[in-house]
Amino acid sequence: MELLWQAQRVHRAANPGYHVQLASLLSVKTGGCEEDCAYCPQSLHNSSDVTGRPELEVEPVLARARAAKQAGAHRFCMGWAWREIRDGAPFEAMLAMVRGVRELGLEACVTAGMLSDAQAERLAEAGLTAYNHNLDTSPEHYDRIITTRTYQERLETLQRVRSAGISMCCGGIIGMGESPSDRAGLLEVLANLDPHPESVPINALVAVEGTPLEALPPVDPLELVRMVAVARILMPIARVRLSAGREQLNREAQILCLLAGADSIFYGDTLLTTGNPAVEADRELLAAAGVQMR
């Protein structure tokens, strides 16, 4: 209760009037990723790999962006299951998608793995609002989750994003067998980035069959509330995004997360490849909580 009280004081100062941003997420290139992330159904190392869906082209993606805007979204996020961005036609298509999303009046966010300085500069020139690159967990727990990319490589990617003048979207996942100290360690790393990430997604593991973490139990909702609250206290003006795992939460638990400092939710029926509450259910939830959308 003391933690909630402290988080509430910080949140009210940073977010007067309780506004929540709605973001929509689309998987442009699904499956076949070379990384071995233990939680991910898109890794070619896992039997859950969902390879086989064709990579989306520019116009269908922009059609989805227009639909997301019509449904009330303010940010449109696009994901590519890559270890790193590849130059050539796929990258040129990504740039066209970013330009198109921005022309619709939406914020544009991309998550596509590691990138070079030159690629970051070109994304900035195209108008990219934010680049998502999560740290996932603490430095100490990281090797138990991912072995194909180092923690330092993730930090270097974030620095390239920052150097190009693009907003940073960076958070993590709880429920992957980590300790409370690991959760604190992740938040400590994020809070020591200077400046703080503009956006901090807090995810609860969705244990997908065919991944190494498939047998892990769902996260206790109060643990997600605690994670959101501490993120809000440590990073007062960051947008704390209540992300994957919301389907496991009843509406009271989601409202507690909003009370604790979450000021964004991902909006739409899917998050890349996992489920998400329906749009109408989210509208009803926010209306019941008296939260304004922006």
Active site residue 170: no
Residue among 75, 149, 232, 241 flagged as catalytic: 241
Beta strands at 270-271 and 274-275: parallel, antiparallel or unpaired:
antiparallel
Beta strands at 75-80 and 107-111: parallel, antiparallel or unpaired:
parallel
Active site residue 144: no
Question: Do the Cβ atoms of 210 and 233 come closer than 8 Å?
Answer: no
Question: Do the Cβ atoms of 27 and 81 come closer than 8 Å?
Answer: yes
Residue among 122, 169, 170, 226 flagged as catalytic: 169
Active site residue 241: yes
Residue among 40, 64, 170, 239 flagged as catalytic: 40
Active site residue 169: yes
Residues 6+ apart with CB under 8 A from 144: 38, 177
Active site residue 37: yes
Residue among 37, 154, 183, 232 flagged as catalytic: 37
Alpha helices in 142-289 (DSSP H): 151-163, 180-191, 221-234, 251-260, 279-289
Residue among 64, 75, 77, 154 flagged as catalytic: 77
Residue among 75, 109, 239, 246 flagged as catalytic: 109
Alpha helices in 72-172 (DSSP H): 89-103, 117-126, 151-163
Active site residue 109: yes
Active site residue 40: yes
Residues designated as active site: 33, 37, 40, 77, 109, 169, 241
